[in-house]
Structure 1
Amino acid sequence: MESVPLQAERPAPPPLQQLADVMADVASSMQAPMDLDETLQVITRGAAETVPGIVEASISLTRKDGRIETLAPTGPLAIRADHLQYELHEGPCLDAALGEPVVMVADLATDPRWPDFGPKAAALGLGAHLAFQFSAEPHARGALNLYCTEPYGIDDDSVYLASLFAGQLAVAMGWAKQDETMSQALATRNVIGQAVGIVMERYTLDADRAFAFLARLSQSGNVKLREVASSLVESANAKSQRHLHHGAGKP
Structure 2
Amino acid sequence: MIEEQSQHLEIAAAMTEVAAAMTGPTDLAETLLVITRCTVDNIPGIVDASISITARDGRIETLAPTGPRVTRADHLQYELGEGPCLDAAIEDPVVAVNDLANDPRWPDFGPKAAALGFGSQVAFQFRAEPHVRGALNLYAQEPDAIDNDSIQLGSMFAGQVAVAMGWARQDQTMTEALATRNQIGQAVGIVMERYKLDSDRAFAFLTRLSQTSNTKLNAIAKALVQQTNDMSQQ
**For this structure pair, what is the TM-score category when the shorter chain's length is used for normalisation?**
over 0.9
TM-score (norm 1): 0.90
Deviation at 1:139? 2.6
Residues 126-164 of structure 1: per-residue CA shift (max 9 Å, x gap): 110100011101131110000011111110100000011
Q: 1:200 aligns with which of 192, 202, 209?
A: 192
Q: How does 1:4-153 map to 2 (within 5 A)?
A: 15-153=7-145
Distance 1:23 1:233 in 2: 45
Q: How does 1:208-227 map to 2 (within 5 A)?
A: 208-227=200-219
Residues 21-59 of structure 1: per-residue CA shift (max 9 Å, x gap): 111100100100112111111100000111121100000
Q: Which residue of 1 aligns with 2:157?
A: 165
Question: Would you say the 8 A contact 1:57–1:145 is kept in 2?
Answer: yes
Q: Which residue of 2 aligns with 1:245?
A: none
Question: Would you say the 8 A contact 1:58–1:146 is kept in 2?
Answer: yes
Distance 1:115 1:182 in 2: 46
Deviation at 1:197? 0.4
Q: Tell me, which stretches of 5 or more residues in structure 1 are unaligned?
A: 1-11, 243-251
Q: Name which one, 1 or 2, has greater alpha-carbon Rg.
A: 1
Aligned residue type for 2:68: P
Deviation at 1:14? 6.9
Aligned residue type for 2:190: I
Superposition CA RMSD, Å: 1.2
Question: Would you say the 8 A contact 1:37–1:72 is kept in 2?
Answer: yes
**How many percent of aligned residue pairs carry the same amino acid?**
67
Distance 1:235 1:99 in 2: 50
Residues 219-248 of structure 1: per-residue CA shift (max 9 Å, x gap): 111111000100111011001111xxxxxx
Deviation at 1:65? 2.2
Deviation at 1:13? 9.8
TM-score (norm 2): 0.96
Runs of 4+ in structure 1 deviating by more than 2 angstroms, as ranges, are none
Distance 1:187 1:139 in 2: 23
Q: Which residue of 1 aligns with 2:173?
A: 181
Number of matched residues?
231
Residues 4-26 of structure 1: per-residue CA shift (max 9 Å, x gap): xxxxxxxx897111111111100
SS class of match (2:193): helix
Q: Tell me, which stretches of 5 or more residues in structure 2 are unaligned?
A: none
Question: Would you say the 8 A contact 1:96–1:131 is kept in 2?
Answer: yes
Aligned residue type for 1:241: Q
SS class of match (1:84): helix
